[in-house]
């Protein structure tokens, strides 16, 4: 594999550190609105300050960190507004992307990922919960990458990362997956039949049902009656 260097650091090391930080944001080891810095990242993840600086800039650009002032950076908050905004944008982009990608999708690969998720249920611990979320993200990205629109894929990947923050709350409360196997099989079925209109409707309906289920689950918990949703 070709190694890339930026400011003297191996680019693959930077990528690994990026994924570690994103995992920490998803699982709330870095909690919403928590203050972060180059030193905090360097100590927490065993990386150089130059890599920390690079990743802070990158995560601010992707809106997983926010710059409150020139000297203060925080983990992006997770509120009802963020949840509703995420679902709204995913309900616009995902149905269209799935319908465009359907003729080229590797359905055997999607089915294998769906089976991996099912084999991890019920969710007994945090490690399994994170694996379920990442496998679901992988499944969605594997489908939409066949749209051949790089910008759309980038947008959806960012939305999926935010969705993992939301789904983490649900998995912690319910120890279960947020989609049923029937919903996944229905999605695969209409995609296989290459029914663009039907695919868009089915996926939009599933996302709407999931949003309602997640919001009801989260806000029935007294611990989430705060601006930031923390477990």
Q: Read off the CATH number of the domain in which 32 is found.
A: 1.10.10.10
pLDDT bracket for residue 3 (50, 70, 90): very low
* Total domains present in the chain: 2
CA within 13 Å, CB half, 49: 3
The verdict on 84 and 59 lying in the same domain is no
Please give the C-alpha separations between residue 46 and each of 41, 166, 183, in angstroms, as whole numbers.
8, 27, 41
pLDDT tens string 19-54:
999 999 999 999 999 999 999 999 999 999 999 999
User: Does residue 170 fall inside a structural domain?
Assistant: yes
- Segments forming the whole domain that contains residue 133: 80-220
Q: Is the pLDDT of residue 104 over 70?
A: yes
Instruction: Give the pLDDT score at 5.
Output: 38
Instruction: Give the pLDDT score at 14.
Output: 86
Q: What's the rounded Cα separation, in Å, for the pair 133 and 114?
A: 12
- CA 57-61-170 angle, to 5 degrees, is 110
The verdict on 36 and 118 lying in the same domain is no
The answer to whether the CB of 84 falls within 8 A of the CB of 219 is no
Joined tokens for residue 103: 């003729």
User: pTM of the entire structure?
Assistant: 0.87
Q: Is the pLDDT of residue 4 over 70?
A: no
Element (H, E) at 83: helix 80-101
Percent of the chain, pLDDT > 90? 74
The verdict on 161 and 67 lying in the same domain is no
Phi, psi of 41 (to 5 degrees): -65, -40
User: Does residue 1 fall inside a structural domain?
Assistant: no
**Of 36, 53, 75, which residue sits at a domain end?**
75
The answer to whether the CB of 90 falls within 8 A of the CB of 207 is yes
The verdict on 35 and 130 lying in the same domain is no
The verdict on 85 and 183 lying in the same domain is yes
In the block, residue with structure tokens 């663009």: 196
The verdict on 39 and 122 lying in the same domain is no
Instruction: Give the pLDDT score at 181.
Output: 84
Joined tokens for residue 25: 């944001």
**Of 40, 59, 75, which residue sits at a domain end?**
75
């Amino acid at each position: 594999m070709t190694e890339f260097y930026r400011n003297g650091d191996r680019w693959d090391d930077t990528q690994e550190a990026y994924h570690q930080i994103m995992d920490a944001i998803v699982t709330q080891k870095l909690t919403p609105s928590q203050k972060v810095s180059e030193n905090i990242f360097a100590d927490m993840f065993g990386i150089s300050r130059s890599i920390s600086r690079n990743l802070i800039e990158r995560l601010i650009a992707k809106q997983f960190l926010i710059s409150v002032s020139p000297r203060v950076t925080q983990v992006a908050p997770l509120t009802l507004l963020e949840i509703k905004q995420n679902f709204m944008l995913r309900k616009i982009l995902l149905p269209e992307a799935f319908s465009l990608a359907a003729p080229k999708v590797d359905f055997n690969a999607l089915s294998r990922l769906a089976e991996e998720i099912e084999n991890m249920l019920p969710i007994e611990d945090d490690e399994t919960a994170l694996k379920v979320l990442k496998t679901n993200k992988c499944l969605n990205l594997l489908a939409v990458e066949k749209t051949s629109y790089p910008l759309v894929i980038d947008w959806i990947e960012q939305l999926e990362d935010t969705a993992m923050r939301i789904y983490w709350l649900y998995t912690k409360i319910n120890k279960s997956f947020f989609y049923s196997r029937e919903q996944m099989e229905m999605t695969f079925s209409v995609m296989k039949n290459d029914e663009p209109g039907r695919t868009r409707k089915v996926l939009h309906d599933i996302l709407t049902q999931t949003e309602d289920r997640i919001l009801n689950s989260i806000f029935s918990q007294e611990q989430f009656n705060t601006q930031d949703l923390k477990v």
